[in-house]
Structure 1
Amino acid sequence: MHLTYARISKYPYNFRRITGLSIETFEQLLVLKVRPLFEELESSKLRHGRMSHLPTMEDKLLCVLMYYRTYISHVFLGYLFNLHNANICRLLRKMEPLLAKKISIKKDRSLTSDKVLRILADVSEQPTQRPSKKQKKSYSGKKKRHTIKTEIVIREDGKILSVSKSHKGKEHDFKIRKGEKLLPKESLKLADSGYQGWQKLQSNVMIPYKKSRKRPLTKEQKEHNRKLSSIRMKVEHKIREIKVFKIMSEVYRNFQNKYNLRFNIIAGMINFKHAF
């Protein structure tokens, strides 16, 4: 006996725990996004090969989501689905571009201050295995380990607007922001103290006041920091939603050339989950 969608869907609580999505959201994602594109791809083939060991689209998508949610090895995942680990690798190679095409975060070129009054930005940092070369570039002085960084920008209502390229752990948060597209001028932009200097680059930027030995914070500055922190918690909560998928929170074991693709897919699924 092995794991299938037909079996696990009988237990909604367990389904949500191992995939990160409810059964309703899973079925909407499958019907509206994944199945049409997969069938179009299959119909364009001149010849069809052997029948897949996972014949239903439900099982294919379940396998991918389980990998993202639990980040178990291909061997372990193959054992659960009665597949060889090479078949798991081929399945991911086939399914991930389809998911990226339909649900990843797309650049919104129509982004204006009329549409977005407040924008929140922050950087997500994830530990990685120690690289064999150029280790200093990946070493984060803040985390005291080798990491990879990605910036997300969200609206105040929680919609993820953009996901940056992924950078080595040594890269400063503000340097990552400078390499990205400028945000709307009139929108109020809120960030943490890692974005010191953003005010010189754009207007309407709010970051916390920093104290020093000779200049302690005033009551007004402390109140400003407190209010800013309460608003900024929304972007922290959004990063937490991304990191519910263990592939984005545990030590990243894979080659990093697919890291940003997977980050985008998961961010897109979270937007889809909240009907954005």
Structure 2
Amino acid sequence: MGGVLRADPLWVETFTGLRMNQFKRLVRVVRERGGQGPGKGRGRGRPWCLALPEQVLLVAVYYRTNLTMRQLAPLFGICPATVCRIIQRLGPLLALEPAPRPAEAAERLWIVDGTLIPVRDRTVGASSKNYHFSANVQVIIDADTRLVMATGRPAPGNKVDAQVWRDSGLPAQCQNVTVLADGAYFNTGLVVPHRRRAGKALLRAQEEDNAEHRRVRARIEHAFARMKNYKILRDCRQKGSGLHHAVQAVAHMHNLALTA
């Protein structure tokens, strides 16, 4: 029995949240990164049973719906083992492209925050404040464009944002850029709200600064909400680097949805 889903506009837009032109850009990126695989003119090996667009669609549908391998298999007319192999092979190729350094870096405003993602892999996550076994993932967005600029590798969810930020390697990517953060990033060199001291109220100007800070910083919460439309970020069953690849792929698709 053949599969139901094919890379045509109806299924692409319904199951991935991307328009067809955005999906084609995603397929092109995967092809340029070597996703075409074995076949005529591409080295030895048996060709995949699905064409590359269907393979990319499968991975995007998996991240969007978080269906199991057994549920995805009949939709594409393949076995669960093949679904697993396609996801493991193409997942890293959907990763977010490194953000180019803006020409006017000193004039840009980025926002950073961490989000907790429930995971099943006990080597990646930890019991955290959302009452789940979760991983902390740091995400940077551009305040003007709302595009994801970079994401950090997942850390156990019981670590505070400031510690995860310092260990993520992301500070090196933010040199000469103003980065906004919440109060959890105190003493990290980022722009954080004014702190209320014990027994001492904030000045009116400081209260106004904090209100503006909250208004701008809310944009990253909106970005998290859009990214978590991909249900893989609500309950990730992937092991090892699977969560990192999923976050990177979702960030890539989130950016495509905003720009294409």
TM-score range (shorter-chain normalised) is 0.7 to 0.9
Instruction: Please give the TM-score of this superposition, normalised by the length of structure 1.
Output: 0.80
Query: Aligned partners of 2:252 and 2:80: how far apart in 1?
Result: 27
- Residue 108 of structure 2 corresponds to residue 117 of structure 1: yes
Which residue in 1 is equivalent to 2:93? 98
- Counterpart amino acid of residue 222 in structure 1: E
Query: Aligned partners of 1:123 and 1:22: how far apart in 2?
Result: 28
SS in 1 for 2:113: strand
Query: Aligned partners of 2:93 and 2:106: how far apart in 1?
Result: 29
- Residue 134 of structure 2 corresponds to residue 147 of structure 1: yes
Q: Structure 1, unaligned stretches of length 5 or more?
A: none
Give, in angstroms, the shift of residue 217 of structure 1.
4.0
Give, in angstroms, the shift of residue 188 of structure 1.
2.5
Give, in angstroms, the shift of residue 166 of structure 1.
1.0
- What are the residue-to-residue correspondences of 1:21-170 with 2, within 5 Å? 21-30=18-27, 32-36=28-32, 37-39=34-36, 42=39, 43-46=41-44, 48-49=45-46, 51-54=47-50, 56-100=51-95, 104-106=96-98, 108=100, 110=101, 114=105, 116-129=107-120, 131=122, 138-140=126-128, 142-156=129-143, 157-170=145-158
**Counterparts in 2 of 1:209 and 1:17: CA distance versus 1, 3 Å:** farther
Equivalent residues of 1:113, 1:185 under 8 A apart: no
Equivalent residues of 2:110, 2:180 under 8 A apart: yes
Query: Aligned partners of 1:96 and 1:184: how far apart in 2?
Result: 26
Instruction: Please give the TM-score of this superposition, normalised by the length of structure 2.
Output: 0.84
Give the superposed CA RMSD. 2.7
- Residue 199 of structure 2 corresponds to residue 214 of structure 1: yes
SS in 2 for 1:162: strand
Give, in angstroms, the shift of residue 243 of structure 1.
1.0
Query: Aligned partners of 2:77 and 2:174: how far apart in 1?
Result: 50
Give, in angstroms, the shift of residue 233 of structure 1.
1.6
Per-residue CA shift, 1:237-274, capped at 9, x if unaligned? Answer: 222222111001x2222213321122112212222333
The count of aligned residue pairs is 254
**Counterparts in 2 of 1:167 and 1:191: CA distance versus 1, 3 Å:** same
**Counterparts in 2 of 1:40 and 1:251: CA distance versus 1, 3 Å:** closer
- Residue 185 of structure 2 corresponds to residue 195 of structure 1: yes
**Counterparts in 2 of 1:185 and 1:92: CA distance versus 1, 3 Å:** closer
Query: Aligned partners of 2:139 and 2:64: how far apart in 1?
Result: 20
Q: Percent of counterpart pairs with the same letter?
A: 20
